[in-house]
Each structure stands twice: as C-alpha cells, then as structure tokens.
C-alpha cells in the first residue's frame, strides 16, 4: 500500500513539473486554455508566489475571504481561486499582458480605498477577525520589497517594479474582500483616533468627553480600545460612560484577549465568564488559539467552562430555520463541526502545554462531536504532530481514519 502511495506521489510530481514547464514556455496560451488551475501550479518556479512573504499573504488572504465549500460549493471555490491564481501568474510571467487588465490609476485607487475601509470595518468586528486583519497588513507590507526585487530581477527599473508590486498586492486585497464588501463601511472617527499610534492618552481621554456618545458608539469604542490593548485607565474611562459589558455576538471579554491585564480588569468589573457567542463558543475557544498558557489559566481560574461545546446540529438547524439573524461576517453553513468541544479545538489549533493544562483541570478528553470525531481526529486533520503524540500518550485512539 505504501509503495502504491509513493508511486502516486511520484506521478503527481512529474505531472506538476510538466505543467510548470508548459506554463513557463507559453504562459499566455497555458493560462488561456487551462480552465481550472490546481493550486500547486500557483507555485511554479518563476511565480511571484514562490516568495515566502507572498505565501504568507496568500494564506491569510484565503482565511479572510473564507469562501467555504459548504456555503458555495467546491466548484465555485475552485473557480474563484483559479481566477485569482491566473492573475498572479500572468503578472509573474507576462507582466505586460497583466498591465492591460489593470484599471485606470484613479479608479484603482478609489477601489483600493473602499476595500481598505471595509477590511478595517470587518477587522474590528471580533477578536478573530482582528488577528487576521493585523496579519494581512503585516504580510502585505512585508511582501512589498521582495516583490519589487522580483520585478527588478526581470530587468524593470525600480519605479516600474514598485508599480507592479503594488498592483499585485492590491489584487490580494481585492481577493480577500471578495463579495463581502459593504459599501461605505468603515470604523468611526473615534475608533480611528484610538488606532492612531500618534494619539497620546491625554488626547484620547479628551476625545471621550468631547460629546455625548450613544450606547452603541460607546460599545464600538470599548471594543476597539480592548482590541488595541489600550491601558486600563482608558478602558476604565470608557466603562464609566458605558452601561454594560456585553455585546451582541461576543462579550467584551473576547475583545480583551490580547492583554492579560485587561482581561483581569474586566473580570474584576463584572465581565461574565460564562458568556457564549452565537455558535456556542466561550472565551476559551479564542484563548487556546493564542497558545498563551497564563491567559488560559486566568480564564479557567475565573470559572470558564473547559467542557464547553459549540452548538449541536439540531440547534444549528433550528436557529437557521427560525431565521435567526447573524452578524454579517458569520454564516450558519460555515459551522461544519457542530458540537466540537474546546479540547478538540485546542488539539487542532493549540499546543501540548495548553492541552496539559486542560487535562489537569479535568476536561473530558473523550468527548465526540456530531460526526463522531474526537480530539485526536482533530489533531490529525490539522497535522499537529506534537499534539497527536501527546493525545496518543494519554490513551486516545482515532475514530476516523
């Protein structure tokens, strides 16, 4: 069986090499005649996606777009990804032909500004979005110089190379936003002031008392301050003006996870450690992904339920059937693994240290989701080698091969 598998891999490698050779020989013909590209073809020698920095940007771009097969079907996901890949490959192998696809500079700039505003708005909606938002712009900026050098190596002058580099990076922005765009969506001026690194504490405090804010405005200001890990003095001032700590989909405690100090401050000021979001996750689901042992211990000691599970299939179906409204960045179809436990989630996304903390605190290591998966199944699907080893050592056996 292993020999057959190795032969199959060898065949795939040969086929991949042949496709790459055809692409390099005649990129325009290859991209025109190929209906759906395999993602492996994006990384042929000579593609801009061979740059490590662009690969990182590609990964987070796909995470933000989050085009789920369960929502739109495999064919749509493959087709859209292929279209994007073809555009990047055209820019890599035939930049003059790529140039003809670009919009007029003033139009392109207006589109970019609108997409940046929306992505900023999307990024400040919840803690997980914010992490992706930050990673996107970090990767975007870090890829700029390598892309300029990529085009300079093709003989382009620095100004032209910078133009193509920026154009490709904006294609990533366009693909990330996709059809999620909400026209004129952006964060408020007060949220922008909080995110402005040049704004000192005095200026921020002055802004808070510059007018009478609505409760909704204060909620958004507080979320932003927490996401940005602002000092507890700022957080305290916002709380004095506000009426409570809870939000629609996630409590303020979720937004504070980037700062242990702010988490403890909110807990002391009445944050509900038992709060669950729309899909049934408590604050520990986000915390374990951060791989911060101290934070996880703080939350457990405060009473967070380590045996919390996401909603089950029946609840999901009932909520969807009743037409329960969701935040615009959430979809019921994206929740594929109903009844997933915290331990399963940690097995896929966290570390052995976090798993050990959960086990020491009495977590149910044998829990199953609605599909019959256990924690070891999740670790294997995520190819998390260290966690697989640990889970096998404590006696777990995979239920799904």
Residue 111 has pLDDT above 70, yes or no: yes
Q: What is the DSSP letter of 68?
A: -
φ and ψ of 342, to 5 deg: -60, -40
pLDDT in tens, 11-21: 445 455 688 99
Listed range (95-99, 171-175, 243-247, 275-279) with the worst mean pLDDT:
243-247
In three-state secondary structure terms, 294 is helix
Alpha carbons within 13 A on the beta-carbon side of 191: 20
φ and ψ of 170, to 5 deg: -70, -25
Tokens 């400040």 appear where?
124
pLDDT of residue 11: 45
pLDDT of residue 291: 97
Average pLDDT over residues 247-276: 93
Q: Locate 161 and state its tokens.
A: 């190379």
Domains and CATH numbers, the chain: 2-179 (no CATH), 187-275 (1.25.40), 277-401 (1.25.40.20)
Q: What is the DSSP letter of 103?
A: P
Q: How would you label 25-39 residue by residue, b for 16+ Cβ within 10 Å and e otherwise?
A: eebeebbeebeebee
pLDDT of residue 16: 57
pLDDT in tens, 217-246: 999 999 999 999 999 999 999 999 987 776
Nearest to 255 by CA among 130, 155, 344, 390: 130
Nearest to 249 by CA among 288, 280, 218: 280
């Amino acid at each position: 069986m292993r020999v057959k598998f190795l032969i199959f891999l060898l065949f795939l490698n040969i086929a991949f090499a042949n496709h790459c050779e055809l692409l390099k020989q005649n990129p325009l013909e290859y991209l025109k005649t190929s209906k759906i590209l395999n993602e492996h073809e994006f990384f042929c020698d000579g593609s801009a996606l061979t740059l490590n920095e662009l690969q990182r940007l590609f990964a987070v771009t796909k995470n933000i777009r989050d085009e789920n097969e369960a929502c739109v079907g495999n064919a749509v996901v493959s087709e859209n990804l292929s279209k994007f890949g073809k555009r990047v490959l055209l820019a890599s192998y035939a930049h003059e032909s790529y140039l003809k696809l670009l919009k007029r500079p003033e139009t392109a700039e207006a589109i970019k500004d609108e997409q940046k505003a929306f992505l900023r708005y999307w990024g400040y909606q919840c803690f997980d979005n914010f992490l992706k938002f930050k990673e996107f712009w970090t990767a975007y900026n870090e890829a700029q110089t390598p892309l300029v050098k990529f085009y300079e190596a093709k003989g382009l002058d620095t100004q032209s190379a910078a133009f193509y580099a920026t154009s490709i990076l904006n294609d990533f922005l366009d693909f990330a936003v996709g059809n999620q765009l909400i026209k004129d969506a952006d964060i408020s001026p007060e949220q922008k002031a909080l995110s402005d690194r040049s704004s000192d504490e005095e200026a921020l405090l002055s802004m808070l008392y510059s007018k009478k804010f609505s409760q909704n405005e204060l909620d958004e200001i507080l979320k932003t301050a927490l996401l940005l890990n602002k000092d507890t003095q700022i957080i305290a001032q916002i709380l004095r003006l506000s009426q409570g700590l809870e939000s629609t989909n996630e409590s303020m405690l979720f937004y504070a996870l980037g700062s242990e100090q702010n988490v403890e401050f909110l807990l002391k000021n009445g944050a509900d450690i038992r709060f669950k979001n729309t899909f049934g996750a408590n604050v520990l689901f986000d915390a374990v992904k951060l791989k911060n042992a101290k934070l996880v211990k703080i939350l457990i000691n405060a009473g967070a339920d380590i045996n919390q599970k996401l909603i089950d299939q029946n609840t999901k179906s009932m909520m969807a059937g009743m037409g329960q409204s969701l935040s615009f960045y959430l979809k019921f179809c994206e929740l594929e693994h109903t009844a997933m436990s915290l331990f399963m989630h940690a097995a896929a996304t966290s570390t052995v240290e976090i798993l050990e903390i959960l086990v020491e605190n009495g977590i149910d290591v044998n829990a199953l989701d609605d599909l019959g998966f256990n924690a070891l199944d999740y670790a294997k699907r995520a190819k998390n080698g260290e966690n697989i080893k640990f889970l096998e050592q404590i006696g777990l056996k995979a239920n799904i091969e």
